[in-house]
């Protein structure tokens, strides 16, 4: 089940693990596509330990879901309303959710790598003014070559290539 309580790993991907110990990795691009299209009731079957990486973005999933057709159901949709600030920290990493009329995301990354050192990359996206499907969904996966080699040694990221990911060495 794609539920936050089943997230067991977020190192270089998002992995879900159910009560029986079944694990599925690399769910983030499919999850982003489903959220962008407002799909919250769907069965997805996979026959591998990770969701295919496709071109390294959410866009192919959006294309396939739209091509297959989306059926609106009669039950009302449920939404979450943020009423107070919530901050979660893990070492030097943190996330903060604040009340806001709309949906806006601000983020910064700063890796210990010469490309990023001393210059954190930052962005703010307000989805009242930006369309995820049209403007964001083609954003590609990126990572460090050293992380890629670690994943491959663990028999993961098998669909990743230089054609579908931005690899920094």
Residue 36: per-residue pLDDT: 92
Distance of CA 101 to the CA centre of its chain: 23
Q: How far is CA 135 from CA 37, 142, 152, in A?
A: 14, 18, 31
pLDDT digits (tens, 9 = 90+) for 100-120: 998 899 988 877 778 777 777
**pLDDT over threshold 90, residue 92:** no
Rounded CA separation 4/24 (Å): 13
Q: What confidence category does residue 44 fall into, taking pLDDT thresholds of 50, 70 and 90?
A: very high
Q: For the chain, what is the mean pLDDT?
A: 87
Q: What is the pTM of this model?
A: 0.81
Residue 3: per-residue pLDDT: 87
């Amino acid at each position: 089940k794609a539920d936050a309580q089943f997230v067991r790993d977020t190192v270089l991907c998002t992995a879900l693990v159910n009560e029986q110990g079944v694990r599925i990795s690399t769910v983030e691009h499919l999850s982003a596509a489903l959220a962008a299209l407002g799909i919250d009731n769907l069965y997805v079957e996979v026959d591998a330990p990770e969701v295919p990486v496709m071109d390294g973005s959410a866009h192919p999933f959006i294309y396939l879901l739209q091509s297959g057709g989306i059926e609106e159901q009669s039950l009302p949709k449920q939404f979450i309303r943020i009423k107070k600030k919530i901050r979660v920290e893990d070492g030097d990493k943190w996330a903060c959710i604040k009340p806001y009329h709309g949906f806006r995301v601000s983020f910064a990354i700063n890796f210990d790598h010469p490309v990023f050192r001393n210059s954190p990359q930052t962005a703010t996206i307000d989805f009242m003014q930006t369309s995820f499907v049209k403007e964001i969904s083609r954003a590609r996966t990126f990572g460090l070559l050293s992380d890629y080699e670690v994943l491959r040694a663990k028999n993961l990221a098998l669909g990743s290539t230089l054609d579908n990911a931005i690899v920094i060495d």
